[in-house]
Each structure stands twice: as C-alpha cells, then as structure tokens.
Structure 1
C-alpha cells in the first residue's frame, strides 16, 4: 500500500509504503508524515475509504472512531471528499500520477525498507525541487517554508500506532500473532498474554511485564524462537526426566537415594548415572538391584559399573544365563499396565491325544 499526503498549497508530498491497508498502517502513515514535516495541516481531506469513513448518508458522515482519536490527538479536522467530485481530490490524484511517472518508472528495489528510504530521498530532493503550481517562481521546498507557519505544531507525544491484541498461550511455549508463532519462556504457558507489535518488533507481556521480544516477521506459519527460551525448556525437561528416574529408582531400590548422593559428591553426572541404573533395573529384578546397591555402598563405592559387577557376580553364583536387554518404554503409565493371561484350559484336548488314540484302536479291532 502506498500512503500519500499532499499539502494543498505548497504541494509538498509525503510518500510511504506498507505491506497492507490495515488500520494500524493507516495510522502509522499519518504519524510518519507529521513527524517528517514536524507539523500538520489544520484540515485533512479524505477520499471515502473505509479507514476514514464507515458510513455516509447524504451529508451525514460516520467517521472511523480510531481516526477521530487520531484527529483529537493532533487537533486537526477530518473532512471527506464529496461523492463524484473529482476536483476535490485532484491535487492528490495528480501527485499520484507524478509519483508513478517520476518515482516508479525504471526503479528497482530489494525490500520495503530500501523502497521507503528511496521514497523519502525522492520527496526531499526531486519532488521538492519541482516548481510550485500555485507560484511557479518558487520551488515546492520554498513554498513549504512559507506554508509552515500556517500549520499546526506537534503534541509532546506521538499517537500510539503499535498493534495490541490479547492472546492465550497454550501447552507449548509459543504465542500466535499475525499467523506466526513466537516463543515465550516455558513458565508462561497456559496463561493469557498481551501482544504488542510495531513494524520491527513483537513483544509479549504478562501482568504488565515484558516476558519476550522478537524481531517481527511478515511471513506465514513461521516459528520464531529465542535461543534462551529453547535452552531453558530443554533444561527443564532434562530435570523433569531426572526426577522421574530418581522417583522410579527410589521406589524399586531405596538404596539408590544414598548411592546417587555419593555419586554426585564424587563428580559423576547425575543424568547418565540415573540412566545406567534404570537400564540395570530393566535387566535385573528390583530386589537384585537393591542388594547390589547395598553391597556397593558398604564398600564405599558409587559408580554404576561397580553395581553391574556385583549383579553379574550374583547371577553367575546362581548359574543363571545373562539377562536379555528388553527395551521398555520410559512412559510410567505404560510401565504400570498389567494384562491378565488368558486361560489355556480349553486347548488341553488338542495336546492330550493318548486317550483318543486308544479309543480309535479299540474301534478298529
């Protein structure tokens, strides 16, 4: 979308491009024009676009309420063009034709920022150096300097043009805004949030405090992540996995609590130690693991290999075969499932054939 403002007497042009025609960009164009000129006209004449005029019946006009807020903030009067009165907006239409012929013709650009930078330079040089239609003896820039005293000064604070929407963060640490997902800390899930956005950034707030800030993207279906959010989530999952493993070992082999404490004191990694003990628990019975842990602790050792050596020695003493590794799920609910074995009594007559053979021999004789 091209946002164009033309001053009525000097013909000074403001030109800015946006990706769409939404209300937030309509407001941004006003604020950018007023800021660049450091002033604004007392009356702004609008074509009958929906961003300005919601409804019109005869001379009765219903302006967009957000436009009225903007006009009240900057103290200008909005006026709509009369229908079918081309002369009322002729200055703007001639300026658009001038932009098309003198700015766009043969021009190439790589992105929107480059295009807007070139548009600003063109407005301040080529467009301002042309002759003023009201007084051909002056340039547009000279006419603008004479017109400036009749313009309104800017208020102390600009009108807020950032987008603001209420959102809900679900089970995953992402908040959706403008068809894209932005990461948030994992502690913010399952709660409401407020998303504020400019053309450059997207900020997420909870309870009035900013919890995340990202560079804005205008794609679709993209996932924008802060590496710190991802790292914190991975660490949280790792800790939760360790806690689940510790709880399981403590229930199956209570001596594992003291064993893990000693292992940490001696600098062993907690995660890998828990994983090795869980593997031993899967291969051997819980009572065997408890006995091996108790023996290792009596010898003041705290390494999974020591536990495995004790388990192997106890197995060989009983002349039992090596345990087969059975990969089991780590999901606790699936581990607790039990199935009642089906009765095989009904299949006995398929295997017990001796009585049938005797009866068959008697019949043949």
Structure 2
C-alpha cells in the first residue's frame, strides 16, 4: 500500500491511461487494426510508473510487476525505472532506487529499463541528467547500452510532442552523453523511428512515408528504430513486414540492426513472443538463434576499435557490416 506521500506523487505525476491512446494523442494510426494492441504497451509503461512512483519499497513494486504477463512485463519495468529515476532526482541525486531496480529484479529487462530512464529525462531539466544513470558496474552492457536512455528520450519527444519532433522534424540540442555530443542526435533519431511505428499504427506504407519525410541523413537511424519497434512490439502480419523490408531499400542493414537488438533484448529477458520471431525471419531473414549469435559475435568493447566512436555505435556498425556481407551475392562476398 502506498504512503500518503506516494499517493500524492501518483496523483500529481502519473498520467491517465487514456492520455497515451492513439486517439487521445491524435495519431494517424488511431484507426489501425493494431492500435489497441500497440496502445497496451504505453499503458503498461504507465502502470509500471504508477507502481514505482507511489510504492513504499522495491519488493512491493517487484511483486506487482511480476504479475504482468510476460509479453508486457518489460514495458511495465520500463515505467518503474522511469518512476525511480524521477524519485532519485527529486531526492537531489542521493536516491538509490534506480540502481537497486536495475541490479535486482529489473536486470533481465536492462534494455527496457534504460529506455524508461530516457522517459524520465524528457521530464527533468538537463542539469539533473548528469547522475540519471547510476553506477551499474556489475551489470552487463553497462555503460554501452545506456545510449538506449537517449533512444527513450527521443521516443518520448516524438510520442508526446509529435508536431514539433515529427511534423516539424526539430532536432533537440546535443548533450555530451558518454562524452559523445555529436552522436546524441543520432540516438534520439533511433527513438523517434521507434515512435513512428506507434504513431502510424504499424502501417508499413504510412511508416515508410513518415521516414521519407525526414532529411536523408536522418533516415538510417530512423529505420533502425522502426526495425526495433516492429520486431519487439509487433502489430504487423508477415506480408506487411515484407513490404516494410522492401521499402527500407538501401537502409535495410539499419533496419536489421534494430531487429537484432530487439531479439537480443527479448531473449535476455527470457521471453520471445511469436511476433518477434516473425519480425526476425521476415525483416532480417534470421532465426532467433542466429540473431542472438550475430549480436554476441559482433559485440564491441571500450578498448577496441575507433575510440572517437561510441562503443554502442561500433557494435551497431559491426552488425550492419555482418548483415550486409551475408546479404551480398556469393560473387561479391568472395571478392570482399
């Protein structure tokens, strides 16, 4: 049971479930056959946020989260991470809730909990970002995958400020995340690409048109976000996914990077739904096992490769190279 202060925080900070529906947001995908299914994802995030913002302790939050069905559980953890990041910030940076969550019950969902921290970033002034990611030295993929927080920030901007960041295609000011201010807008675009999948109700033609309205240099990262969302969240049958793959054209390797990361995140959490397996096979021509093997085989580390490029992007680049080489005609592969 939440404390009086917890109930007040929930009342003030937690959004209503209706505010994340596509109709309420005015999204063109509101009439899509996939709308109700896709809306359940941000609604799961809201539920996780409500539990995290009001709860007295981690045990209470964990118990609630574990009651969520496996397919949606990671999204609920996303919301809890968002809530804990906000609470830690409200404590002047002295809070330890986020760290305890990510090193404890949230560990299998580390990819999504980073995204949840990004949602918190969208609601906090930038000076508070400095300590938004706790020290997670004992956690896998730290700090490499903390860029998913920036991805989450970009998703939030597109989802809740659609006119500004999708219609007008504004670019947020750079921020030296992991010391790489130049890469910050690219990670934001990966999150915006994910949001486009939701905004357009998993309609391949509409999503493609939305990506193509952006400047050419932004499209590769947008396509990567589309691939991640289409695979992780689903909402589109095989024939539609085939259309999406064809539409990505020269950006298909970027689309494939999103697919591989989606499968890696799903398997790391211990549950791969049928729609994620379909996304892997249709969008990237990969089995779940093959996608995981590619992710593991190409993983980058701080002490290898070009030090001017974030480790996260080095990993992504190696996945792109692998997919490109594997898709090349035999003669081209031999020549390479």
Structure with the greater alpha carbon radius of gyration: 1
More helix by share: 2
Per the normalisation by structure 1, the TM-score is: 0.18
